[in-house]
Amino acid sequence: GAGVSQSPSNKVTEKGKDVELRCDPISGHTALYWYRQSLGQGLEFLIYFQGNSAPDKSGLPSDRFSAERTGGSVSTLTIQRTQQEDSAVYLCASSPGGRVETQYFGPGTRLLVL
């Protein structure tokens, strides 16, 4: 079946602009995660959605970052007033939910803030 998809694959923006990154999880997966991967670094947890529960936003680095998940499926990560340090690959992952921990990753969106 189809895996996790993300769009756009690449995004170049100017400092101060807002950007929206999209994630389509695997159909039927109730859990969705966003991570940030800076060059040569590990995976930094940003936010987690599970079904209709309140999301865990504990990893969001500042109030410029927000995310929503509509209808329990597609998710959008929004970065307002982008800064150069926001440049990174943003990865989305989904899992079946509950206590099943295996996460399936999307290809990522490479964001470059000039």
Partner 1 sequence: GENVEQHPSTLSVQEGDSAVIKCTYSDSASNYFPWYKQELGKRPQLIIDIRSNVGEKKDQRIAVTLNKTAKHFSLHITETQPEDSAVYFCAASTGDYKLSFGAGTTVTVRA
Indicate which single residue of 108, 109, 111, 113 sits in contact with partner 1 (rule: CB under 8 A). 108
Buried residues in 15-51 as b, exposed as e (16+ CB within 10 A): eeeebebebbbbeebbbbbbbbeeeeeeeeebbbbbe
Cβ-based nearer residue to partner 1, 63 or 101: 101
Please report how close the Cβ of residue 41 comes to partner 1 at its closest, in angstroms. 7
Handedness of CA 107, 22, 89, 17 (dihedral sign): positive
Nearer to partner 1, 43 or 74 (CB): 43
Give the chain's largest Cα–Cα span.
Answer: 40
Site string for partner 1, 39-78 (x = CB under 8 A): -xxxx-x--x-x-----x----------------------
Closest CB 49 distance from partner 1, rounded Å: 10
Q: What is the DSSP letter of 73?
A: S
